[in-house]
Structure 1
Amino acid sequence: MKIIFGVLVLLAVIVVMPLFTFRAPKGQRAMSALSNAACATFLPQAFLSYAIGGVFHIDFVKQIGDTMGSMGGLAVGALVPLAFGISPVFAVLLGVSLLKFKLLTAFVAAYLVSFLVKEIQKRFPDGVNLIIIVLVGPILVNLIAAVTSPGIMAVLHLIGNTIVSAETGNPLVMGAVLGAIIPLVGMTPLSSMVLTSLISLVGVPMAVGALACTGSSLLNFSFFRKMKFGDRATTLAVTIEPLTQIDIISTNPVPIFTTNAIAGAINGMVITALGLVVNVTGMATPWAGLIVVFGMNPLTKVLLAVGIILINSTLWAYIGSWAFRKFKIHTVAEIRAKDALARDKTDKTVKV
């Protein structure tokens, strides 16, 4: 029952994403800023701290990765205001104020306070607006972050406990659940790297998380191309790191998440059956995770797993593109056009 409830919570989060992107004021810009912040912090941490520093035992590189990974709050706290068109000085001011908070908590605080900062910036002369924002901005973002943090962390823990519950049951069921859930989390602001770090996932479950994300990227390479979500750059970007294309993913959740979940469940069972392990947490990322899997398991087993995952993921990419061939999708060009229109309206309003 706990597993079902946890999956339902995850699905609810996934449903909220496109609603926020399209319905919330400046939702697309904010979501892009969140994606960029995750790529600027968690992705370097995965490569530098674990894939390079951990596997090759280079402490200097590991320290750099750990430092960058701890800056999620600062990064999103600065990038969200910048996406609103706020002065870089004010944006960095808010970002530094959110240094101690996690990525999602800082995102909520920065998003809400950016509306106020934008108005202060417009309505008060230079110098005066700086003093007002210095006095008001840091206090407000910290208050909002402190209030929202327990709820956000509760959602993460609930999804994490779903994974732990699955792990203690049937191994193949665990593999299927992890293989389906973790790649989906990796394509949401929750971030699979954050989730697996939060619940200290290691061993076979962590290997499932790592290689399931690799399989998801391989699937999306063919799926995005067949569905024509965007151009070659879009397809390459989502293959390298899904978070870079969170705007297009969040606007097409049904075909992307459904196809990835089915393929991921099968991939997860394959990885579990082969007994692969990853003994460091936070490696639920497509390519850094793959490097670590190679470093901690027999080469022949890893090659066999990767071969099966490649075939299965590519097969489901074609099945999914056929199944959703008549489904209404939103393309990158459409999203960019809407964003450009929104920016144009904002610029005209400022001039007036």
Structure 2
Amino acid sequence: MFTIVKGISLLIFVLALFYIFSFKAPKGNKAMSGLANAAVATFLVEALHRYIGGNFIGIKFLGEVGISSGSLSGTAAASLVAISMGAGPVYALIAGAALLNLGILPGFVAGYIVGLIAPIFDKKIPHGVNVVLGAILIAPLSRFVALGVEPIVESTLLSIGEVIALASTQSPYIMGFLLGGIMKIICASPLSSMALTAMIQLKGLAMGISTIASFGGAFANGVAFKRLKLGNKGNIIGVMMEPLTQAHIITSHPLSVYSSSFLGGGFAGLIAAHFGIINNAPGTASPIPGLITPFAFNSPSKVLIVLPLAALAGILGGFIGSNIVKYIKNKK
């Protein structure tokens, strides 16, 4: 029980920091968006091509594609975070190219620093000279920052991910429901579950729960949108495929959506915990990656059983959550 409390408490603590950074730090929300994109560009590609195309199907070329993509997570993070914050592509790639053999989190920090200072080069330094000075200064700065934060990252955020993973292993059903519910709320909020799971490098059963919860909970969101009349058919399809596309509706009706998200994600997380679904591709906690990446780390027959059950669990959560909202509204 102590491990569960510790794991959930640390997760909530990270979420609080995540929220503060995303909405209070300069361009924090844009930086987190870049981190989520970097997770897709590296970890998702690695999961699909290295583990499915390479290891499972046996196509060597696809395996090499996946290995290459996964090894460049730091480069992708630094580049995409800087670009998301408004840095020029040349500066962003200069920062990213300097991060050979460094992970996604040090890359994120380096990209954030470069994203803050790169626009200064364009404003203060003549065109042509700015790129040369950028190459001279940004590349070593990016690697210096990444190397400086790497030990801190490994001793804090990665250890938090390990505690959550341990708690999921020791108490899979409790963590299946709680972790699945929390992750689906994050998935349906302006915060990014992809960025969060990439940040703490979540793996194993805990990541499997997060992945299946993101997929199954999408059906809960669809049911909530339909039954509570939140938007049209396009909005329903959009929230099921990628909740962030409907952030304007979700933030206007948080109770209506998050109650269904928590229950749907929690029920789907229980399914994942029961079948022992694992996922060693952090940063893939989103509906569409949740549909695909489990095949990379589990037997296809097991995944083909889990996915429909997770969808039904999400639908159940959506009905219960929407009924609760309707009851509260009627009482008022």
| TM-score (ref. length: structure 1) | 0.72
Give, in angstroms, the shift of residue 140 of structure 1. 1.8
The 3 A distance-change label for structure 1 pair 310 and 103 is same
Q: Which residue of 2 aligns with 1:332?
A: none
Q: Which residue of 2 aligns with 1:163?
A: 165
Which residue of 285, 292, 296 maps to 1:288?
292
Aligned-partner SS, 1:134: helix
Q: Is the 8 A contact 2:179 2:209 kept in 1?
A: yes
Aligned-partner SS, 1:98: coil
Give 1:254-273 correspondences, 5 Å limit.
255=255, 259-273=260-274
State the alpha-carbon separation in 2 of the partners of residues 151 and 258 from structure 1: 35
The 3 A distance-change label for structure 1 pair 216 and 36 is same
Q: Which residue of 1 aligns with 2:15?
A: 14
Q: Which residue of 2 aligns with 1:68?
A: 69
Aligned-partner SS, 1:44: helix
State the alpha-carbon separation in 1 of the partners of residues 120 and 74 from structure 2: 23
Q: Is the 8 A contact 2:183 2:193 kept in 1?
A: no
Give, in angstroms, the shift of residue 227 of structure 1. 7.1
Q: Is the 8 A contact 1:28 1:247 kept in 2?
A: no
Structure 2: unaligned runs, 5 residues or longer: none
Q: Is the 8 A contact 1:176 1:268 kept in 2?
A: yes
Count of matched residue pairs: 316
State the alpha-carbon separation in 1 of the partners of residues 16 and 242 from structure 2: 21
**Cα offsets for 1:165-192 (capped at 9, x unmatched):** 34135x5335445544665677435454
> Does residue 42 of structure 1 match 2:43?
yes
The 3 A distance-change label for structure 1 pair 53 and 192 is farther
State the alpha-carbon separation in 2 of the partners of residues 69 and 206 from structure 1: 17
Letter in 1 for 2:295: I
Letter in 2 for 1:116: I
Which residue of 204, 220, 224 maps to 1:201?
204
Q: CA RMSD in A?
A: 3.9
The 3 A distance-change label for structure 1 pair 31 and 277 is closer
Q: Which residue of 1 aligns with 2:92?
A: 91
Q: Is the 8 A contact 1:157 1:199 kept in 2?
A: no
Q: Which residue of 1 aligns with 2:142?
A: 141
State the alpha-carbon separation in 2 of the partners of residues 107 and 188 from structure 1: 16
Identical-residue share of aligned pairs (%): 25
**Cα offsets for 1:286-344 (capped at 9, x unmatched):** 11134357744458xx43x44432222122224435656899xxxxxxxxxxxxxxxxx
Give, in angstroms, the shift of residue 126 of structure 1. 1.9
Q: Is the 8 A contact 2:6 2:163 kept in 1?
A: no
Q: Is the 8 A contact 1:163 1:174 kept in 2?
A: no
Q: Is the 8 A contact 1:86 1:121 kept in 2?
A: no
State the alpha-carbon separation in 2 of the partners of residues 70 and 228 from structure 1: 44
Letter in 2 for 1:156: L
**Cα offsets for 1:170-217 (capped at 9, x unmatched):** x5335445544665677435454675xx56626xx6654543332133
Give, in angstroms, the shift of residue 123 of structure 1. 0.5
Q: Which residue of 2 aligns with 1:343?
A: none
> Does residue 33 of structure 1 match 2:34?
yes
Aligned-partner SS, 2:204: coil
Aligned-partner SS, 1:81: helix
The 3 A distance-change label for structure 1 pair 104 and 254 is farther
State the alpha-carbon separation in 1 of the partners of residues 24 and 207 from structure 2: 35
Give, in angstroms, the shift of residue 125 of structure 1. 0.7
The 3 A distance-change label for structure 1 pair 293 and 43 is closer
| TM-score (ref. length: structure 2) | 0.75
Q: Is the 8 A contact 2:263 2:321 kept in 1?
A: no
The 3 A distance-change label for structure 1 pair 49 and 122 is same
Give, in angstroms, the shift of residue 233 of structure 1. 6.3
Give 1:215-226 correspondences, 5 Å limit.
215-223=216-224
Which residue of 188, 194, 206 maps to 2:193?
188
